[in-house]
Structure 1
Amino acid sequence: MLNILIHSKHAQRYNEVMADLGADNDIRLLQVTELDIDTMMMLQQRVDNGEWIAIAADREPVRGEKVVPVSFLGDTVAFPQGPWLMAGLLKASVNTLFCTRQQGRYILHIERMSDRIQWTRQDRDEVIQSWVQRYAQRLEQVCMKAPLQWFNFYDFWKHND
């Protein structure tokens, strides 16, 4: 089962429609605006059951907080800490998933970044910074190969105004 965390109130409706259609669907959208203790416990249970949690690691956090400045495409930009904090708390492996269109076909790339993100209170900021920068470098490679296929639905470069 793949659980995709999104910031859209349409998640519940998507899940209802798929169930109504009788779709044998191994994808569950979870509308998450806050990662409170109940949500984290639910996610931990799903990880413990062997399910995957997916989160976009290049999207602006809902409240615009908990970001890390990293080098990306020749500039310094803010990427969210959330995916890396969550991976550490859930003791989950981290994989990247990129989909690009090449010669009329969609190509899916899944790569293991880490078996586990580990940090302590003392080194958390440094460890998270390092992982976010690694992710930004990998995303940058994909963007360089397919520059018109990276979509972000907010003003990603706004900090430079």
Structure 2
Amino acid sequence: MYAMRAQGTEEALPLHAVVYTKHAARINAVLEEIDPEGHAKLLQMGQGVDFMLRIKELVEDGGIVAILADRVGSDDRAVTVEFFGAPARFPTGPFILASTLKCPVYLTYGLYRDPDLYELHCEPFADVIELPRKRRQEALQEHVQRYASRLEAIARSAPDNWFNFYDFWRHD
């Protein structure tokens, strides 16, 4: 996020990272001290219309909204897809949100290459996430599987960069 924030500062693009923590306000206060121009903000993951309208407003104003799509949050909306050869749960919220907003979706990640050298990537994932009413669940499953497959390929290409503290394969 900090590398994206630095790029956003150079390009004057506001960055808003959606997080699953109740501490977003406290972290935002620290970010305000580091970056008084306010190019990076954390937004507490929310539910309902107010949250959706806030995200819509940020996107329409030209902002970048970053959402982790690799772990299921507290709302537990998820689908099961194949990940490293086993069934794993991934959230549906980021894909539903992108579909509702009809905005482009990019995958962004950084790979550590040498001491003090990070390789930053931003690649197109979809011009628009389409979830047709008649096959919504099937289309959602396809988008999430495509994301999980891409995440797996990235992790396989640089396994020393992937520190997994999240149990993708937990079956509650």
- Structure 1's consecutive aligned runs of 4 or more residues displaced over 4 angstroms after TM superposition are none
Residue 17 of structure 2: SS of its match in structure 1?
strand
Q: TM-score, normalised by structure 1?
A: 0.89
Aligned length: 158
> 1 or 2, which has the higher helix percentage?
2
Contact map agreement 2:87 2:169 (CA 8 A) in 1? no
Identity among equivalent positions (%) equals: 39
Q: Residue 74 in 1 paired to residue 85 in 2? A: yes
Structure 2 residue aligned with 1:96: 107
Residue 161 of structure 2: SS of its match in structure 1?
coil
Q: Residue 31 in 1 paired to residue 44 in 2? A: yes
Change (3 A) 1:10 1:116: same
Moved more, 79-88 or 148-157: 148-157
Q: Residue 57 in 1 paired to residue 80 in 2? A: no
Change (3 A) 1:20 1:143: closer
Q: TM-score, normalised by structure 2?
A: 0.84
Residue 119 of structure 2: SS of its match in structure 1?
strand
Change (3 A) 1:152 1:61: farther
Structure 2 residue aligned with 1:16: 29
Letter in structure 2 aligned against 1:49:
D
Contact map agreement 1:59 1:152 (CA 8 A) in 2? no
In the TM superposition, residue 150 of structure 1 has moved relative to its aligned partner by 2.3
Q: State the Cα RMSD in Å.
A: 1.7
Q: How many angstroms apart in 2 are the aligned matches of 1:126 and 1:110? A: 27
Change (3 A) 1:133 1:21: closer
In the TM superposition, residue 22 of structure 1 has moved relative to its aligned partner by 5.4
Unaligned runs of 5+ in 1: none
Letter in structure 2 aligned against 1:157:
W
Structure 2 residue aligned with 1:129: 141
Letter in structure 2 aligned against 1:111:
E
Unaligned runs of 5+ in 2: 1-13
In the TM superposition, residue 3 of structure 1 has moved relative to its aligned partner by 0.8
